[in-house]
Each structure stands twice: as structure tokens, then as C-alpha cells.
Chain A
Amino acid sequence: MSLALPVGKNGIGWLLPALIIAGWEVASRAGVMPANVLPAPSAVAEAFWRLMLSGELIRNIGVSTARALAGFAVGGSIGFALGLANGLSTLSRGLTDTTLQMIRNIPHLALIPLVILWFGIDEEAKLFLVALGVFFPIYVNTLLGIQSVDPQLVEMGRVYGMDRRALFFRVILPGALPAIFVGLRYALGIMWLTLIVAETISASSGLGYMAMQAREFLLIDVVVLSILIYALLGKLADSLARLLERLSLGWHPAFQNG
């Protein structure tokens, strides 16, 4: 049985946020919610428009996105490479895994004071934190993915004469891909989280900086706007990852009815 909603399957997820915003607007207009606690959605929209016109918003989103992607590229590729190496070679795993697991247990945000001492509040500090944050989910899940590839399929590949290269590209990597995507989606969440914390504490541009500036001047509408933009950016990153997942995991039973 299915509900015949005109919004369709993808639209239904947006129903709840739309209702919340509508309720919020009504509450603000009725004076239930004072503007110095939470401004009305229309006020936030006005702030959005103002910052769009001045170009400030676009610039800050651009700066934050560039930082996020740079950190993600660095940390993600190191994590992926080490995950592959440790999944394929017992020597490499024996050598590095214990160390990595110890470092993994340090909350990376606890390193902020140290990172500020090392790098100041420049770009390197944020890049380092984001890279460190995304490294572990990618590393752990790539390693797990490779270790959980069905050994019967690997044996089949060997019996049918696949060399190491063919075995990797046709059996091991595709088998590890679902787990790698789980890591990717985790990493994208951590990427934004880390960046925003880092920008809030020390930055001279970016979304986190914009929110902190607005707090100084009691521009609560801008603060709320920043938070909403984080939510949208996070959702956008997750949607992109899901699209990639859908494109490359079409064989997986979980993606065959979508």
C-alpha cells in the first residue's frame, strides 16, 4: 500500500522541514517566539537576501567550501591509500594499524589548541583539522571493506586465472565499495563539522567566521541563516555521495528498487 502524494517519493522528505518553518513563522508573528531568541523565517530570508546582494554570503560559502574540499581531498586520499595498503598487505597492517588505532581514539578537535600553536589561524590549521577528521572514517571503512570481501570469490578469481591486478579491480575493489561509501558519507559529515568548529574558533573568513561576527553585533538573523546554510550544505554533500553510490552500486539489491 502506498500513499499517493503529489510530491512524490523524493519530495516527501521535505514535507516536515516545510511544516516546521511554517509553524515557526506563525509562532514568531503571533509573538510567541521573541525575535531576540529566534527571528522569524521571513527575517532570516531577508538577511539571506541582504548578504547575497552584498556578495558576502557567496564569498564566505566559497571560502568554506574550498577549505572543506581541500581538507577532504588530502585526508580522504591518505585514508583511502592506507586502507587499501593495510587491507591488501599484512606487513603494512602489522606495521601501521596499531599506531593508527591509537591516534583514532584522540578526538581530533582536542588538537585545536595545539594546531593553533603550530599553524596559527591560517589556512593550514583548518586544512590539517579537516584532513585529520575525514582520514579515519575513510581509512577504517576502506580497510573493513577489503577485509570483508568474500574469500570464495577471491578463490574463484584465482582458479579462473586472474592476475593480481585483475583480482584487485574486478573482485576486491568492487567488493569493498559499499563499505567505502559508508566511510565517504561519514567523512562528509565530519568534514563540515570540523570546518565549522575550526572557523568559529579561529578564522578571518568563511561561514563560521560570518556567524561569529554576527554574534558580536547581535545579528541573530545572520547567525540562524549560517546554521541553516550548514544544514543545506551537509544535505547537499550527502545527496552527492548517495548519487555516486547509486551510480556505482547499481548491482546491489539495496539499490535496485530506487
Chain B
Amino acid sequence: MTAASLTAARSFAATPVRPIGSVEGQRAFAFRHAGKRFGDKTVLDGIDLDVPAGQFLAVIGKSGCGKSTLLRLLAGLDRPTSGSLTFGVAEEGHSRTRFMFQEPRLLPWASVVKNVEVGLTGIATGSEARHRALDILGEVGLADRADEWPSVLSGGQKQRVALARALVGHPQILALDEPLGALDALTRIEMQQLLERIWIAQKFTAVLVTHDVAEAVALADRVVVISEGRIALDLDVPVERPRRRGSVELARLEGKILDRLFG
């Protein structure tokens, strides 16, 4: 992302419109006093969150704390009712935000590669789309399943296809809504490693909503805890990669977050 593209940031604000003024590093997106209300229920309130491009951010919270709403705002599925959300301008040939759901949500009537091509809607068609889809399928280790139906894949494989679909358009921001929640423990760790590897290779900004604290500290550069619609903790995870699961450092951070959640 170039610095010039950021100054012309597009705004997604309710009131007031606040473009990002000066360029302090390269920013992927920023929430400014952002809030979201549904009727008289306040789901998010006064969120200030500044995320530099390329960061891996994990968002943790108990069910109903507003973390999924945060992600929906980010993906443009909802708009903030107060404050603002600003983005850096999308680069040529890139999609801005891609969303990975809790469920794979693959089209059962389209082959694996056609499902991945859905991620190129409006970006590429025909043989170029197929080419790019096959490339990314290779990266998630499913190149040989390209022409099969989704129904013959296992849960972990389906979620890998969904990851390929999310990444094939080279998004600047990848929003992940507990995408590994339904997988068994071993497949889950495999997927986490795959996600980390692709994130390092493609340098997108990742926002992972999860309720698994161990997953958050294993993957993220930074962990944000949301409680009752507010940011309760904003913690850096300054641990070198590759990280060793179960190391003392990670366990200490995990403890700190759990204290905050239940303390």
C-alpha cells in the first residue's frame, strides 16, 4: 500500500465524516469513537481502534459482547450509528475487505475451483479467474480437489476452500468470524498454521474474531478484548514467529487476558 493512496481515504462514517488527516505509518483502518445501536440497545460504544496495515489483530470477548458487530462494520455489512470508520483506499486489482464466515458457506452446486472463483466476482473472469483460483488452491493444499463437489470434502477442507475464496482477490483486510470454531482440535491447529503462513506471505491485515484465547495469542500481533461494547484491553503480543504453542511467554499473556475477561 502506498502512502499516497492512504491520504485519499474513503470514509464510511455516519456522523461526522472524518477522513484520516495525516499519514502516520500505513493504516489499514481506524475506528474513531465508533458506536452501533440497534433500537435502544447499544452494542458498541466509543470504539477507538487504529490498525496499521499488515497487522494480525485478534478480537476476543464473551458471546454478545459486540465483537461480531465490530467485524460486520468492518466488512461493510452494517454501518456505525455514531463515530466513524475510515479505510485506506483499495489498491488496483485488490478487493478491500474479505469476510470469512463461521461456516464455509460454499455453493454446493459449484465445483471447488468455481467456489474459489466467487472471490473474484468483479475482479477477474474466465481463464484468468480459473488460473488465480487454482494458484490459491495450491497454497491451501487442495489443488488436486479443484474439480470435485464441496459435499465430498471434510469440514477442515471446506474451510480451507473458504479461506482460498477469501484470499483469491488479494484483499487488504481479511475479516475472520470464528472460522475455525467448528473444527476438531487437530484440524484447528493445522488451519491456524496455514492461516499464519499465508498471512506472512501475502501481508494482508487480518482481523480474527475468536473466543479461543490460546488461538488469539498464538496467531496475533495484538489482542483486543471487548467487554460490554467497549475495548477493555488492548495488548501487544511481542513474541517472535514461529511461535511455540504452550511456551511460557504465550501462557503468561493468555493468563493476563483471561484475568481481564473473568477478573
Interface residues of A (CB under 8 A from B): 152-153, 155-157, 159-162, 166, 170-171, 174-175, 177, 249-253, 256
Q: Report Cα–Cα, A218/B108, bound state, in Å.
A: 57
Q: Report Cα–Cα, A152/B99, bound state, in Å.
A: 13
16 contacts between A and B (CB under 8 A): A153-B107, A155-B77, A155-B105, A157-B118, A160-B119, A160-B121, A161-B122, A162-B121, A170-B107, A170-B110, A171-B107, A177-B109, A251-B110, A251-B150, A252-B108, A256-B151
Residue among B108, B109, B119 with max Cβ neighbours from chain A (10 Å):
B109
Residue among B95, B107, B149 with max Cβ neighbours from chain A (10 Å):
B107
The residue on A at minimum CB distance from B149 is A251
Q: Report Cα–Cα, A251/B101, bound state, in Å.
A: 22
User: Closest CB of chain B to A9's CB: distance in Å?
Assistant: 22
The answer on a CB contact under 8 Å between B110 and A152 is: no
Is the C-beta of B103 less than 8 angstroms from some C-beta in chain A? yes
Proximity string of chain B (31-69) to chain A, C-beta cutoff 8 Å, 1 when within and 0 when not: 000000000000000000000000000000000000000
- Give the residues in chain A near B140, CB-CB below 8 Å: none
The answer on a CB contact under 8 Å between B103 and A152 is: yes
Proximity string of chain B (213-233) to chain A, C-beta cutoff 8 Å, 1 when within and 0 when not: 000000000000000000000
The answer on a CB contact under 8 Å between B121 and A166 is: yes
- Give the residues in chain B near A161, CB-CB below 8 Å: 95, 121-122
User: Closest CB of chain B to A171's CB: distance in Å?
Assistant: 7
Q: A160-B119, A256-B151 are in contact. List 13 more A-B contacts (CB 8 A).
A: A152-B105, A153-B107, A160-B98, A160-B165, A161-B122, A162-B118, A175-B109, A251-B108, A251-B109, A251-B150, A252-B108, A253-B151, A256-B149
Is the C-beta of B75 less than 8 angstroms from some C-beta in chain A? yes
The residue on A at minimum CB distance from B165 is A160
Q: Report Cα–Cα, A157/B165, bound state, in Å.
A: 12
The answer on a CB contact under 8 Å between A251 and B151 is: yes
